[in-house]
């Protein structure tokens, strides 16, 4: 497989990255708000964690389907940066020790989506509101 063969898949793989990142992010919201997947992580209504979970649920859904992707990714990225500094960084200096490595990864993947867009397999692209530019 040549470099050009890989490059032709770049837009589609961007769509796959967006969809799966959004789906996993959305699951964090459903776990905290709805108790699914089952866990002890359900949070109290209107707490800081509840608002974060609501953003995870809504933005995760939008990112997953590729609708208002850049806006949702911007909000999600900022939320994860905030979550890292408020909830994780005070525990320990190293992300691997403070449990914040996922928050950092989400922050930067979503920040990338703000600039890269949703990719061709998205509702935004189907609506002609955003298209992948090479």
Answer yes or no: is pLDDT of 115 > 50. Answer: yes
Answer yes or no: is pLDDT of 133 > 70. Answer: no
Answer yes or no: is pLDDT of 134 > 70. Answer: no
Classify burial at 82, counting beta carbons within 10 Å of its beta carbon; exposed 0-12, middle 13-18, buried 19 or more: middle
In eight-state DSSP terms, residue 88 is I
Instruction: State mean pLDDT over 70-85.
Output: 97
Answer yes or no: is pLDDT of 5 > 90. Answer: no
| CA–CA gap between residue 81 and residue 45 (Å, rounded) | 22
pTM of the model: 0.93
Instruction: State mean pLDDT over 74-83.
Output: 98
pLDDT, tens only, 51-68:
999 999 999 999 999 999
């Amino acid at each position: 497989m040549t470099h050009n063969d890989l490059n032709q898949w770049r837009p589609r793989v961007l769509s796959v990255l967006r969809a799966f990142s959004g789906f996993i992010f959305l699951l964090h919201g459903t776990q905290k708000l709805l108790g699914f997947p089952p866990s002890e992580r359900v949070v109290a209504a209107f707490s800081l964690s509840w608002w974060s979970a609501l953003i995870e649920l809504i933005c995760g859904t939008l990112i997953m389907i590729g609708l208002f992707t850049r806006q949702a990714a911007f909000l999600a990225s900022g939320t994860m940066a905030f979550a890292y500094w408020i909830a994780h960084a005070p525990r320990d200096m190293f992300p691997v020790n403070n449990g914040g490595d996922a928050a950092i990864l989400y922050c930067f993947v979503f920040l990338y989506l703000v600039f890269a867009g949703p990719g061709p397999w998205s509702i935004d692209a189907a609506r002609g509101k955003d298209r992948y530019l090479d």
